[in-house]
Amino acid sequence: MSRIVFNKPSVSGRELESVQKAYMNMHLAGDGPFTCKCQKWLENNLGVKKALLTHSCTAALEMTAILADIQPGDEIIMPSYTFVSTANAFVLRGGVPVFVDIRHDTLNIDEKLIETAITTRTKAIIAVHYAGVGCEMDVIMAIARRHKLLVIEDAAHCVKATYKGKELGSIGHLGALSFHETKNIICGEGGALLINDKRFVDRAEIIWQKGTNRKAFQQGKIDKYTWVDIGSSFLPSEITAAILWAQMQEATRITRKRLDSWQRYHELLEPLEKEGKLRCPIVPRGCEHNAHMYYILLNSLQQRKKVLKKLEKNGVNAVFHYVPLHTSPMGKKCGNLSGQAPITQDISERILRLPLFMGLTARQQRTIAGLLK
Ligand X SMILES: Cc1ncc(COP(=O)(O)O)c(C=O)c1O
Applying CB under 6 A, the residues found at the interface with ligand X are 56-58, 82-83, 85-86, 128, 154, 156, 178, 180, 191
Residue closer to ligand X, measured from CB, 214 or 326? 326
Shortest distance (Å) from residue 88 CB to ligand X: 9
Residues 207, 63 contacting (CB under 8 angstroms)? yes
Shortest distance (Å) from residue 189 CB to ligand X: 7
The long-range contacts involving 262-269, CB below 8 angstroms and separated by at least 24 positions, are 262/289, 262/291, 262/294, 262/356, 264/362, 264/365, 265/294, 265/354, 265/356, 265/365, 265/368, 265/369, 266/294, 268/365, 268/366, 268/369, 269/296, 269/369, 269/372
Shortest distance (Å) from residue 202 CB to ligand X: 25
Give the count of beta carbons closer than 10 Å to the beta carbon of residue 247: 25
Shortest distance (Å) from residue 58 CB to ligand X: 3
Residue closer to ligand X, measured from CB, 128 or 372? 128
Residue closer to ligand X, measured from CB, 153 or 205? 153
Residues 106, 133 contacting (CB under 8 angstroms)? yes
Residue closer to ligand X, measured from CB, 15 or 154? 154
Residue closer to ligand X, measured from CB, 182 or 367? 182
Shortest distance (Å) from residue 97 CB to ligand X: 13
Residue closer to ligand X, measured from CB, 232 or 364? 232
Q: Which of 46, 8, 32, 59 is nearest to 239 (CA)?
A: 32
Residue closer to ligand X, measured from CB, 178 or 348? 178
Residues 348, 327 contacting (CB under 8 angstroms)? no
Shortest distance (Å) from residue 317 CB to ligand X: 17
Shortest distance (Å) from residue 306 CB to ligand X: 26
